[in-house]
Amino acid sequence: MPITIIRDDERLSTEFDDSIFYYKRIKDQDFMNIRRKHTTRGEVDHAAVGLEVLQSYVVDWENVLDPDGNEIKFDKDLINSLPSVVQVHLLNQINGDTSGLNALKKSKATRKP
């Protein structure tokens, strides 16, 4: 699989069950800045790093439902309410991981609408 340069205007998608999530990949320097921001006396708050990455790099979703079955408009403040397995999947996609669930070939590059 060829390597693809990370562009500031990229918009990628990944499916999880029947939902679609749109995201951007993170550049190493941006990740390091977020990590540094959440490090105190050498201790990294990994939960805070993960949440900030998700809130900054997940840009939209489709077919995400509330407990009553109603579709919810994208709201970055609700990302922390997604099941942890979905959050981990999204973090892997944002980090450019091409193994695991991505191996199912459900992720694809798309252009901005």
**Is residue 113 domain-resident?**
no
**Is residue 59 domain-resident?**
yes
Instruction: Supply the range of the domain harboring residue 21.
Output: 11-105
pLDDT at 14 over 90: yes
User: Read out DSSP for 38-103?
Assistant: TEETTEE-HHHHHHHHHHHHEEEEES-B-TTS-B----GGGGGGS-HHHHHHHHHHHTT--SGGGG
pLDDT at 101 over 60: no
**Is residue 110 domain-resident?**
no
Residue 86 CA to residue 53 CA, distance in Å, equals 14
Number of domains in the chain: 1
**Is residue 69 domain-resident?**
yes
**Is residue 26 domain-resident?**
yes
Token representation of residue 70: 């109603």
What pLDDT sits at residue 91?
95
- Summarised one tens digit per residue, pLDDT across range 42-98 is 999 999 999 999 999 999 999 999 999 999 999 999 999 999 999 999 999 999 875
**Is residue 34 domain-resident?**
yes
**Is residue 78 domain-resident?**
yes
Which amino acid, residue 73?
K
**Is residue 2 domain-resident?**
no
